[in-house]
């Protein structure tokens, strides 16, 4: 897909995500809005995957380490054909397989269970190492939050990835500057992230995480540096696309009321043209 088509898909995903949060009365809508463009580009432009063969050994892998934004992943998987679109309406309901955090045993297309922050990148390093040992060509992508990068396990994984020269691994940091209850700068300010990753031997791109052309270029195999794992620092906005949610820490897992829901949906529909 071209960037314009990807933007249309991302807008549709945001609207369905918003509706599901409103109907379920729960979710992590701020981070879901910030990560949607990244997920859309991965699944509809970059990754080699087949919804009809979700366990194909040659598939690319995505680990959504910020597992609390599972709903955004579910909507993307439904748009791609891994799960029925109508199943999104079961989000968080009793006996639904669409839980608040993704479960690889239950949901096709989910590569590993996530939720406890700081686990996804170490798992991704293991995946990428396995591919190297097998001489396989598939790639591993990991999405973390910027607040999540405060976890020490991530930095151990970063060191290991450089040591093992995992140029088949791409870390994408959803750098929306906010975490639960506070700004990153008020807790443990890791910014700027680029020089820290470069100091560990990673190749780093810094992009606008809502610009589809930039996202697709940064994810392309042509930008991989031989022998070096890659990090994409994606500058995003929590609550992207919805005026009163954008860059507002209150919307980490707040649920819109009826009036807010109607306003948010109207804004997203207007953006869709």
Per-residue pLDDT of the chain (273 residues; tens, 9 = 90+): 999 999 999 999 999 999 999 999 999 999 999 999 999 999 999 999 999 999 999 999 999 999 999 999 999 999 999 999 999 999 999 999 999 999 999 999 999 999 999 999 999 999 999 999 999 999 999 999 999 999 999 999 999 999 999 999 999 999 999 999 999 999 999 999 999 999 999 999 999 999 999 999 999 999 999 999 999 999 999 999 999 999 999 999 999 999 999 999 999 999 998
Strand segments, DSSP code E, in 119-216 are 140-145, 169-175, 178-179, 182-183, 203-208
Instruction: Show the CA angle centred on residue 177, arms to residues 173 and 179, nearest 5°.
Output: 90
Specify the pLDDT at position 152: 97
pLDDT of residue 273: 80
Q: Are 52 and 12 in contact (CB under 8 A)?
A: no
Q: What is the pLDDT of residue 79?
A: 98
Token pair, residue 84, equals 């029925």
Q: What is the pLDDT of residue 201?
A: 98
**The pLDDT value given to residue 132:** 98
The reported pLDDT for the residue numbered 124 is 98
Cα of first residue to Cα of last residue in the chain, in angstroms, is 18
29-41 vs 3-24: helix axis angle to the nearest 10?
A: 150
**pLDDT at position 133, please?**
98
Sign of CA dihedral 125, 130, 133, 138: negative
Which CATH number belongs to the domain containing residue 66 in this structure? 3.40.50.970
The number of helix segments (H) and strand segments (E) in the chain equals 9, 7
What is residue 217's predicted lDDT score, i.e. its pLDDT?
A: 98
Identify the domain containing residue 18 by its residue range: 3-272
Number of domains in the chain: 1
């Amino acid at each position: 897909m071209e960037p314009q088509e990807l933007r249309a898909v991302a807008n549709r995903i945001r609207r369905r995500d918003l509706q599901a949060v409103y109907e379920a009365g729960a979710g992590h809508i701020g981070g879901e809005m910030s990560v949607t463009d990244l997920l859309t580009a991965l699944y509809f432009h970059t990754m080699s995957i087949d919804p009809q063969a979700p366990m194909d050994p040659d598939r690319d892998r995505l680990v959504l380490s910020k597992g609390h934004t599972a709903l955004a992943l579910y909507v993307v998987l439904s748009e791609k054909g891994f799960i029925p679109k109508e199943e999104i309406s079961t989000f968080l309901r009793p006996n639904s397989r669409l839980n608040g955090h993704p479960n690889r045993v239950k949901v096709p297309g989910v590569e590993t269970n996530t939720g406890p922050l700081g686990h996804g990148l170490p798992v991704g390093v293991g995946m990428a190492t396995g591919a190297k040992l097998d001489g396989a060509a598939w790639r591993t992508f990991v999405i973390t939050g910027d607040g999540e990068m405060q976890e020490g396990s991530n930095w151990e994984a970063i060191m290991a990835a450089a040591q093992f020269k995992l140029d088949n691994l791409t870390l994408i940091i959803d750098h929306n500057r906010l975490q639960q209850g506070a700004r990153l700068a008020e807790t443990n300010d890791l910014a700027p992230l680029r020089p820290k990753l470069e100091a560990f031997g990673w190749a780093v791109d810094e992009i606008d995480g809502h610009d589809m052309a930039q996202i697709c270029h940064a994810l392309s195999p042509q930008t991989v540096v031989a022998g070096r794992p890659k990090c994409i620092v994606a500058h995003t906005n929590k609550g992207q696309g919805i005026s009163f949610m954008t860059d507002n820490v209150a919307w980490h897992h707040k649920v819109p009321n009826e009036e807010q829901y109607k306003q948010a949906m109207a804004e997203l529909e207007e953006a869709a043209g």
